[in-house]
Amino acid sequence: MLALVAFCIVTAGATGDAAQGANARAAAAYKRAIELEAKGNAADALSLLWEAAGLAPGDADIQNRLGEALERVGALDAAIDAYRLAVAARPRFRKASNNLILALVKGGRSKEAVERARALVAADPDDADGYFTLGLAQSEPDVEAAITSFRRALKAAPRHALARYNLALVLKRADRLQEAIAELQRVIEIEPRAEAHYTLGVIYWHQGDLERAASALRAAIAAEPRYADAHYTLGALLHARHDWAGAADSLRRALALRPDVPGAHYTMARVLQAAGDAAAAQRHLAEAERLRARAQLEQEARVWTSVGTERLDAGDSSSALECFRRAAGIFEDYAPAHYQMGRALQRLGRLDAARAAFARAHQLNLSLVPPKELR
């Protein structure tokens, strides 16, 4: 009996030492990942975050940071999983809760997002950020409820610029344009955000006030010179005013920042055609058509990947795998489809096929790193 007790004590000590070692390695990987993110090396940072999360799955900070990194590369479903783990590990982790709610909204899961946001408000009815988050969750399914939530946030914190900006956005969607303009002007008084100038410019254009629209769009560019949408929209507006040189200049700036926007190529084609450069116009038109077709295929692949992820999370790995294969068949270069396929194959015990799927996902997007156990 004494020997057995001694053995148990030694085993417990060894287990504790192993856990401490794993936690120490996780902390070191996490620290290094943050350093790499600061230097702009997102791919290697994500790889280290995956490693840290595997070593310390109950560390809320690591899981939340992993979720943010995954969301930046478009791996939304995996990000949601990481945020869930962060919140489960630390239920009062507000940043992780907010991240989870917003990721659920992006992923089309507004019902769960609203439920979680309501729980935050119920826990602290005087918190402006809680109502702000609730408003964001409600923005898609219930515009009027979102307006009410944003107004409650502003009642508690009148200088909450993000709440006021998002209130303006939902007012714009509700076609309450004068109210939206008033809120955007207040945002600019509080904090001259490029997005507020841009949205104001779009509204003025819709109202037919091209001078004020152009002024607002130029203010957006002055606040954020790399604001591709502002350059593009200003180019489209100048095209409408028959300012071919000004339109071409703005569109070139937009395309230098975002060469993958079909609309910018279409508008540039019209500008060049009007300016008499038919050959260049045709090149931009062809590129616009190529990008449009690619975007359509990618959207179809995204839908099937989303359906598959829901089935995978529900425990139906075989059905999920068929969805991921269909997504990859529609658009072979869609990295998330291959990554999720790897997850499904791993759950089905088909490890060699899972490794191949993860490898293909990593080849297409270096930030999508295979799970440590399958590298």
pLDDT band, residue 68 (cuts 50/70/90): very high
Give helix then strand counts, H and E, for the chain.
19, 0
pLDDT at position 90: 95
Q: What is the mean pLDDT of residues 87-95?
A: 93
Q: Average pLDDT for residues 217-241, to the nearest whole number?
A: 97
Please give the pLDDT value at position 199.
Answer: 98
pLDDT at 142 over 80: yes
At 220 the pLDDT is 98
pLDDT at residue 9 greater than cutoff 80: no
Highest mean pLDDT pick, 22-26, 41-45, 125-129, 151-155: 151-155
Q: Average pLDDT, whole number, for the chain?
A: 91
Say what the pLDDT of residue 274 is.
93
Indicate if the pLDDT at residue 371 is higher than 90: no
| Structure token digits, residue 364 | 């297409």
CB-CB contact of 53 with 63 (8 Å)? yes
Residue 360's CB: how many other CB atoms inside 10 A?
20
pLDDT at 17: 60
pLDDT average, residue stretch 330-345: 93
Residue 352 CA to residue 61 CA, distance in Å, equals 32
Superfamily the domain 22-107 falls into: Tetratricopeptide repeat domain (1.25.40.10)
Segment 111-120 shows an average pLDDT of 94
Calpha distance 336→75 (Å, rounded): 6
* Cα end-to-end distance, the chain, whole Å: 43
CA–CA gap between residue 342 and residue 326 (Å, rounded):
14
Distances (CA, A) of 108 to 131, 269, 343: 20, 35, 21
Burial status of residue 326 (CB atoms within 10 A of its CB: 0-12, 13-18, 19 or more): middle
Check residue 215 and give its pLDDT: 97
pLDDT value of position 225: 97
Q: Answer yes or no: is pLDDT of 73 > 90.
A: no
Average the pLDDT over 207-222 and give the result.
97
214 has a pLDDT exceeding 60: yes
pLDDT at 111: 92
Q: Is the model's pLDDT at 1 over the cut of 60?
A: no
Q: Is the pLDDT of residue 98 over 90?
A: yes
Farthest-apart Cα atoms in the chain, separation: 96
Q: What is the pLDDT of residue 349?
A: 94
* Percent above pLDDT 70 for the chain: 95
Lowest mean pLDDT among 17-21, 199-203, 356-360: 17-21
- Rounded percentage of the chain residues whose pLDDT exceeds 90: 75
Judged by average pLDDT, the poorest of 56-70, 304-318, 360-374 is: 360-374
Distance CA 289, CA 44 (A): 34
> Is pLDDT of 5 > 60?
no
